[in-house]
Amino acid sequence: MIMAFSSYNFNPFLSFSFSSTTTTTTLLPRLYSIKLKWKSRTSTPFGSKVVGSSIRSSPTQSIPVESPSPSGGSKTMTSNSSALTIVEVDLGNRSYPVYIGSGLLHHPHFLQKHLVGKKVLVVTNTTIASLYLDKVIDALTRDNPEISVETVILPDGEKYKNMETLMKVFQQAIESRLDRRSTFLALGGGVIGDMCGFAASTFMRGASFIQVPTTVMAQVDSSVGGKTAINHPLGKNLIGSFYQPQCTLIDTDTLTTLSDRELSSGLAEVIKCGLIMDADFFKWQEENINALLAKNPHAIAYAIKRSCEIKAQLVSLDEMECGIRAILNFGHTFGHAIENGVGYGQWLHGEAIAVGMVMAADLSLRLGWIDETLVKRIHTILEHARLPTSPPQCMTFEMFKSIMSVDKKVADGVLRLVLLKVSGSSL
Ligand SMILES: NC(=O)c1ccc[n+]([C@@H]2O[C@H](COP(=O)([O-])OP(=O)(O)OC[C@H]3O[C@@H](n4cnc5c(N)ncnc54)[C@H](O)[C@@H]3O)[C@@H](O)[C@H]2O)c1
Ligand SMILES: O=C(O)C(=O)C[C@@H](O)[C@H](O)[C@H](O)COP(=O)(O)O
Ligand SMILES: [Zn+2]
């Protein structure tokens, strides 16, 4: 066990003190939950004087986050005859497949075999409905006249990921006479997936749920693992549930219509996956970032597959984020503060997470847990991915402090952060 107590000027305008307990390892880059107490700082970048305070002053105990065993939980099958890959999220009797491939929406059986009852409510938004709704309705109903499909088309944007919009979903569900055997199908990015999943988890105390993600962000991350949520004005994703879908269907062809900015945003989570779990994957990303930005189908398919495998493995080990799953939150404590601080939707999720990872890497460096070379590599790959690497000018120390104090990783008043630690020369 290593005990570390340190105090640092941060980034360079936040100042913290730490106490942490970690276990050593010779494996890959490791992440550690650390307890954080706010320390005083001298001035903001904008010149005003701020004095920080402890969120909690009593001694803290940190939770070491263990690396999963290589065999940990998920299975991947790649078909020889087609480009279909199936990543299994292994959760006992709630296990489900993540289908990944080009043109999968042309094949009705992938969706139809996971329908429980005869009614489906497709939850989507104004942008995606005009692109893919007809295709999904066809996939749900072709050669299957018993299936009836209702739709609810929500306004587009993170700023609508809230209770008011959720009520529109319930309204449609009730008016359409959905019952407990009905299926909620999320067609869209992470905003739609998170809201639709939350609606499914609470409608009549739980209906069926299918994810059809259409952004890189949703295909590499949000459609796998069962975190659902809406935002609160005071914090991101504060109201939600863990609720797994019956299946996730990733038709990579849907990415052809995705904007470059959204593509980059999704790549932030791919980069996160490499950093937290797979040094070779991170190296592969460094070598293939241009292919990813050009939407090279092979590069994109590999990035989705590997990210889903990593996520499925972590979720299978720790569905409810009692331990190891928290490493998927690398960069998110700072990132969520940015999303909330600048106003939901002003910064994309992946943009905020990119800066959050830079901030977390900076803390890791100051603790002596990673070296300058890795910090530089993180900056470089994020810049190549056309992602920001500095916090927005408007975010003051007080804003970070107050927003981060409601982070879901706060335990008994103490904020816990996920940081990188490299043992050996794995990265
Ligand atoms: N549950 C989880 O584990 C998890 C993981 C990561 C992110 N998230 C959440 O996901 C949200 C971000 O998701 P996102 O980045 O997908 O944003 P998003 O859902 O807002 O989608 C981004 C934009 O792309 C548009 N769009 C979607 N698919 C498209 C397509 N194929 N072609 C053209 N345009 C398309 C959308 O209409 C939207 O304007 C955040 O709320 C974040 O908190 C959740
Ligand atoms: O699935 C997880 O676990 C993650 O942390 C994935 C994150 O990329 C995602 O943004 C998630 O919604 C964040 O979770 P939260 O619990 O911090 O809201
Ligand atoms: Zn995320």
Query: What pLDDT shows up at residue 76?
Result: 79
Residues 143 and 6 in one domain: no
Active site residue 144: no
Is 271 inside a domain boundary?
no
pTM: 0.88
Residues 12 and 44 in one domain: yes
Q: Which of residues 122 and 7 earns the better pLDDT score? A: 122
Please tell me the least confidently modeled range out of 96-100, 109-113, 260-264, 423-427: 423-427
Q: Which residues line ligand 1 (CB under 6 A)?
A: 125, 127-128, 131, 156, 158, 161, 188-192, 194, 214-215, 217-218, 221-222, 225, 227, 237, 254, 257-258, 262, 265, 348-349
For the residues 4-17, what does the mean pLDDT come to? 34
Closest to 189 (Cα-Cα) out of 219, 224, 150, 151: 219
For the residues 403-414, what does the mean pLDDT come to? 93
DSSP 349-406: HHHHHHHHHHHHHHHHHHTTSS-HHHHHHHHHHHHHTT---S--TT--HHHHHHHHTT
- Distance between CA atoms of 411 and 427, rounded to whole angstroms? 31
Closest to 20 (Cα-Cα) out of 416, 409, 391, 294: 416
CATH number for 399: 1.20.1090
Which atom of ligand 2 lies at the shortest distance from residue 237's CA?
A: 18
Query: What pLDDT shows up at residue 425?
Result: 53
Query: What pLDDT shows up at residue 9?
Result: 33
Residues 189 and 122 in one domain: yes
Is 293 inside a domain boundary?
no
For the residues 95-119, what does the mean pLDDT come to? 97
Count up the domains in the chain and report the number. Answer: 2
Residues 137 and 238 in one domain: yes
For the residues 349-364, what does the mean pLDDT come to? 97
Residues 6+ apart with CB under 8 A from 146: 118
Residues 94 and 54 in one domain: no
Residues 343 and 253 in one domain: no
Is 348 inside a domain boundary?
yes
Residues 57 and 141 in one domain: no
Residue with CA closest to ligand 2 atom 16: 408
Which atom of ligand 1 lies at the shortest distance from residue 224's CA?
A: 3
Residues 218 and 366 in one domain: no
Mean pLDDT over all residues of the chain? 85
SS3 18: strand
Containing structural domain, residue 327: 2-66+323-421
Is 285 inside a domain boundary?
no
Residues 347 and 415 in one domain: yes
**416 CA → ligand 2 middle, Å:** 14
Residues 25 and 80 in one domain: no
CATH number for 220: 3.40.50.1970
Residues 81 and 209 in one domain: yes
Task: Give yes or no for a cis peptide into 68 (omega within 30° of 0).
Answer: no
pLDDT tens track for 129-153: 999 999 999 999 999 999 999 999 9
Residues 58 and 116 in one domain: no
Query: What pLDDT shows up at residue 426?
Result: 59
Active site residue 325: yes
By most ligand atoms within 8 Å of CB, the mutation choice from 98, 104, 105, 191 for ligand 1 is 191
Is 267 inside a domain boundary?
no
Query: What pLDDT shows up at residue 422?
Result: 83
By most ligand atoms within 8 Å of CB, the mutation choice from 134, 217, 237, 318 for ligand 1 is 217
Please tell me the least confidently modeled range out of 12-21, 233-242, 257-266, 289-298: 12-21
For the residues 411-418, what does the mean pLDDT come to? 91
Query: What pLDDT shows up at residue 173?
Result: 98
Is 374 inside a domain boundary?
yes
Residues in the chain: 427
DSSP 83-146: S-EEEEE--GGG-EEEEEETTGGG-THHHHTT--SSEEEEEEEHHHHHHHHHHHHHHHHTT-TT
Active site residue 336: yes
Query: What pLDDT shows up at residue 46?
Result: 17
**Residue from 11, 125, 329, 340 carrying the catalytic annotation:** 329
- Distance between CA atoms of 331 and 216, rounded to whole angstroms? 18
**Confidence class of residue 81 from pLDDT cuts 50, 70 and 90?**
very low
